Amino acid sequence: MQFETKAIRLQHERGHREHSVPLYLTSSFIFEDAEQARALFADEVEGNIYSRFSNPNVNEFVGKMCVLEGCEDGFGTASGMAAVFSSMMPFLKQGDHVLASSALFASSTRIMNDFLPKWGISVSYFDIQQPETWEGMIQENTKMIFAETPSNPGLVLIDLQFLCDLGKKHGILVNIDNCFATPYLQTPFSFGADIVTHSATKFIDGQGRVVGGIVLGSKEIIKEVRAFCRQTGPSLSPFNAWVLSKSLETLHVRMDRHCENALKLAQWLEQHPEIVQVNYPFLPSHPQYALAKKQMKLGGGVVTFEVKGGYERGKKFLNSLKMFSHSANLGDTRTIATHPASTTHSKIAEAVREAAGIFGGTVRVSVGLEHIDDIFADIEQALQVSK
């Protein structure tokens, strides 16, 4: 079956001839007898015990994502950041080293900078623009390489084949945040990644309704993640999992339209006199256009651009938008605009921000499913008002 068919047709086993999987809003599950309870707790048989461990709705969502990403197993988490954290901690200990991309979502950077060092885990950042230097930064105690591509919000790409080959060569786990691309546009496992994480809150939900995340990998990898999450409790709720599983049925339709609108917007902005620079992977002017065409199906639903006038103009532009939502979220049917320098990346040092392509006038737009002419119109009037 093709991606679209799998996303729609894979579902939990029917119990009552239902066409759509029901909600399993239960905290726990009963055992048929003491022997079944023993076998379940001993991991000799598969089955549900407690919704902190597993639940039919969560199982269905995880199962679909495994098929769509092309991996063996996964674990659903309460949020995307719970997924990122849970993808790291089962595999790291005091004295280990993480090699991370210099262009990461701000919360991922905060984990690297503020928390891992407290537990004796060191972190180095490779320059995303200089892949020839990456191998030289690997240390004897490097246990994981963590990266996202495209990056948030600079939309800088990493050559997944190159990075995964590097990890394999040195026996290091390669962990990829695939949130921006979704499995519809990019599958890191096909390039050799060991772990893939998602904030399912974004394009996977696609309508700004629920929060959730997922960690994906081999059975061996996820066995460790599941053990960590089972004891620490960052579990995905059955209701949110049910919403996310249903959302996957329309992921391909939504992503096609997100990408179509985003490309048109990027092309339009590139010709606008009030714009300094436009970043979008499927623009020929993007420095990694060839790589984007090689490893992504389409360019994604996010466009970043820099308005003339810097930090103050950027904020004034946001305040002048009328139709767009002003939010820190992304991946919604509704177009959302964010000023990273004053919000999501405000606690990151300016030099670090700029190295990741985030300047005072940078605006991140999660391009929605509205008519493209209405998107153009709102940006145009906001540019004129903020001029």
* Residue 351, token pair as written in the block: 């030099």
Comparing 360 with 243, the larger pLDDT belongs to 243
| CA gap 280, 274 in Å, rounded | 17
pLDDT for the residue numbered 168: 98
DSSP state letter for 190? G
Shared domain for 288 and 344, answered yes or no, is yes
Shared domain for 50 and 14, answered yes or no, is yes
What's the one-letter identity of residue 11? Q
Shared domain for 277 and 368, answered yes or no, is yes
| CA gap 309, 57 in Å, rounded | 49
The predicted model gives 111-121 an average pLDDT of 97
pLDDT for the residue numbered 306: 96
Confidence of residue 213 (pLDDT cuts 50, 70, 90): very high
In order of 267, 273, 377, the CA distances from 380 in angstroms are 14, 11, 5
| CA gap 30, 27 in Å, rounded | 10
pLDDT for the residue numbered 357: 75
The predicted model gives 331-356 an average pLDDT of 83
CATH number at residue 235: 3.40.640.10
Q: How far is CA 75 from the centre of its chain?
A: 15
pLDDT for the residue numbered 152: 87
pLDDT for the residue numbered 103: 87
Domain count, the chain: 2
Confidence of residue 154 (pLDDT cuts 50, 70, 90): confident
pLDDT for the residue numbered 353: 76
| CA gap 311, 345 in Å, rounded | 13
pLDDT for the residue numbered 135: 97
Q: What is the pLDDT of residues 279-322, one digit of tens each?
A: 999 999 999 999 999 999 999 999 999 999 999 999 999 999 99
pLDDT of 377 above 80: yes
How many percent of the chain have pLDDT more than 70?
99
pLDDT of 7 above 80: yes
Shared domain for 269 and 221, answered yes or no, is no
CATH number at residue 320: 3.90.1150.10
Q: Which residues contact 34 (CB under 8 A, 6 or more apart)?
A: none
pLDDT of 65 above 90: yes
Shared domain for 239 and 256, answered yes or no, is no
How many percent of the chain have pLDDT more than 90?
87
| CA gap 257, 261 in Å, rounded | 6
End position of a domain, from candidates 223, 248, 273: 248
pLDDT for the residue numbered 359: 87
* Residue 274, token pair as written in the block: 């009030």
pLDDT of 342 above 90: no
The reported pTM is 0.94
Confidence of residue 333 (pLDDT cuts 50, 70, 90): very high
pLDDT for the residue numbered 216: 98
Shared domain for 191 and 331, answered yes or no, is no
End position of a domain, from candidates 248, 272, 307: 248
Shared domain for 191 and 83, answered yes or no, is yes
Shared domain for 149 and 79, answered yes or no, is yes
pLDDT of 346 above 90: no
Q: What is the pLDDT of residues 258-291, one digit of tens each?
A: 999 999 999 999 999 999 999 999 999 999 999 9
The predicted model gives 41-58 an average pLDDT of 94
The predicted model gives 166-179 an average pLDDT of 98
pLDDT of 187 above 80: yes
Shared domain for 206 and 272, answered yes or no, is no
Shared domain for 63 and 99, answered yes or no, is yes
End position of a domain, from candidates 248, 273, 302: 248
Q: What is the pLDDT of residues 134-153, one digit of tens each?
A: 999 999 999 999 999 999 88
Domain that holds residue 172: 3-248
The mean pLDDT value of the chain amounts to: 95
Shared domain for 260 and 241, answered yes or no, is no
In order of 257, 268, 312, 358, 369, the CA distances from 379 in angstroms are 19, 11, 17, 19, 15
Question: Residue 18 CB: number of other CB atoms within 10 A?
Answer: 10
Q: What would you measure as the largest C-alpha separation in the chain, in angstroms?
A: 73
Shared domain for 166 and 313, answered yes or no, is no
| CA gap 149, 10 in Å, rounded | 27
